[in-house]
């Protein structure tokens, strides 16, 4: 596999409504789109989906962009690579920066599958043609407006509701949703907003939540283990989960009963497959989250999330929950509570050149010297 050129687009997709979490407000999705071109003109598409600031995890868009442009892309363009796995092994020379690695791995998988005349689904066992999805709702102080959003989501067929919470915004909002919808799969996502407020979190036990996601500090496995011992509600870890070693720590300490698996955060599909196998072997429930991806990253995630081993509906909502327009020709939409996995070769999407140009604010091309 020889890559001769990489076209690199920096895009900004405005959100229809600002996303409010415990660590800040997002008004647009910034993403970098990688288009790898081989010597025969065939392309592979990937997405760097890191967030703009290092407040979710320490990796953020500008930093991961530098790793890609100064290290990973020059390595990729320097020579012919026998296999995708060979280049992925080369990337291990860089410590961390899993989101940059995941972006380039995505594009390589797309290209490799196209060259083999396969879908990415061919690399994954027990993949379904469509999958149930849930929706993530941000912090909305006006509970009447929140319930309007919940009502709309339920009417559209979403099969799980996730609500962002923080100290002072938790029990009342969740209780109102639970009262209106006693049977819905309901969970809370704290994004590490709590310190040691075990009492306020324990009050959530009576709401029959599917899980409380990442209540305490990132990397604090011990505190989460102590909290889980006090709660009936399962704790789900998100930001804490970067590697197989993290899963081993979670199991050893009892830090959580569920994990949220995100391909960018763990370094891509190959790492995620190993982690998913570990979860199955150790009775650790797992579901798949998202990072407000464009249609490129969303397609790759849908292929992975379509495996039958996941325990809860994925967090990959219809594109029009977040955006007015997407940058692929056939944006993924909700139908009867499910989203279809893109068909066709590779990840199954085609860039809409007009939309890419509309939302692109910077473009570069990197070429092989040979």
Which residues participate in catalysis according to the annotation? Answer: 164, 262
Residues 226, 218: Cα–Cα separation, whole Å: 15
The DSSP output letter for 341 is: P
Sheet with 185-189: list strands edge to edge: 135-137, 160-164, 185-189, 211-213, 235-237, 258-261, 285-288
What are the tokens at 103?
């972006």
Residues 263, 103: Cα–Cα separation, whole Å: 9
Q: Is 82 exposed, middle or buried (0-12, 13-18, 19+ CB in 10 A)?
A: exposed
Instruction: Give Cα 222 distance to the centre of its chain.
Output: 25
Q: Is 311 exposed, middle or buried (0-12, 13-18, 19+ CB in 10 A)?
A: middle
Q: List phi, psi (to 5°) of 132.
A: -70, 140
- Contact indicator for 315, 264 with CB cutoff of 8 Å: no
Q: Computed over its alpha carbons, how large is the radius of gyration of the chain?
A: 20
Instruction: Give Cα 128 distance to the centre of its chain.
Output: 19
Residues 225, 221: Cα–Cα separation, whole Å: 6
Q: Count CB atoms within 10 A of the CB of residue 360.
A: 15
The DSSP output letter for 330 is: S
Helix, strand or coil for residue 182?
A: coil
- Contact indicator for 53, 19 with CB cutoff of 8 Å: no
CB proximity list for 122: less than 8 A, separation 6 or greater: 113, 116
Residues 84, 89: Cα–Cα separation, whole Å: 9
- Contact indicator for 35, 19 with CB cutoff of 8 Å: no
């Amino acid at each position: 596999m020889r890559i001769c050129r990489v076209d690199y687009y920096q895009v900004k997709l405005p959100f229809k409504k600002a996303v409010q979490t415990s660590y800040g407000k997002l008004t647009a999705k910034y993403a970098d789109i990688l288009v790898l071109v081989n010597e025969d003109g065939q392309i592979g598409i990937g997405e760097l989906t890191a967030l703009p600031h290092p407040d979710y995890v320490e990796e953020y868009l500008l930093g991961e962009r530098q790793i890609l442009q100064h290290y990973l892309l020059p390595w990729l363009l320097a020579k012919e690579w026998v296999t995708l796995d060979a280049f992925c092994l080369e990337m291990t020379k860089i410590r961390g920066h899993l989101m940059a690695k995941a972006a380039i791995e995505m594009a390589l998988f797309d290209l490799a599958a196209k060259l083999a005349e396969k879908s990415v689904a061919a690399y994954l066992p027990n993949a379904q043609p469509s999958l149930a999805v849930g929706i993530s709702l941000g912090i909305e102080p006006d509970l009447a407006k929140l319930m309007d959003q919940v009502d709309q989501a339920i009417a559209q067929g979403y099969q799980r509701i996730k609500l962002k919470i923080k100290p002072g915004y938790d029990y009342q909002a969740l209780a109102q949703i639970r009262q209106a919808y006693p049977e819905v799969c309901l969970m809370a996502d704290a994004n590490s907003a709590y310190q040691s407020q075990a009492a306020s979190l324990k009050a959530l036990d009576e709401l029959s939540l599917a899980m409380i996601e990442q209540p305490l500090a990132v990397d604090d496995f011990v505190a989460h283990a102590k909290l889980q011992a006090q709660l009936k509600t399962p704790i789900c870890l998100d930001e804490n989960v970067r590697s197989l070693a993290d899963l081993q720590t979670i199991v050893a300490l009892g830090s959580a009963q569920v994990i949220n698996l995100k391909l960018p955060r763990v370094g891509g599909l190959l790492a995620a497959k190993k982690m998913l196998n570990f979860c199955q072997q150790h009775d650790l429930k797992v579901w798949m989250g998202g990072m407000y991806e464009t249609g490129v990253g969303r397609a790759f995630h849908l292929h992975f999330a379509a495996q039958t081993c996941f325990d809860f509906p994925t967090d990959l909502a219809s594109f029009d929950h977040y955006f007015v327009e997407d940058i692929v020709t056939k944006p993924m939409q909700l139908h009867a509570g499910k989203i279809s996995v893109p068909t066709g070769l590779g990840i199954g999407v085609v860039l809409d050149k007009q939309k890419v140009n509309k939302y692109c604010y910077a473009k570069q091309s990197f070429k092989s010297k040979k």
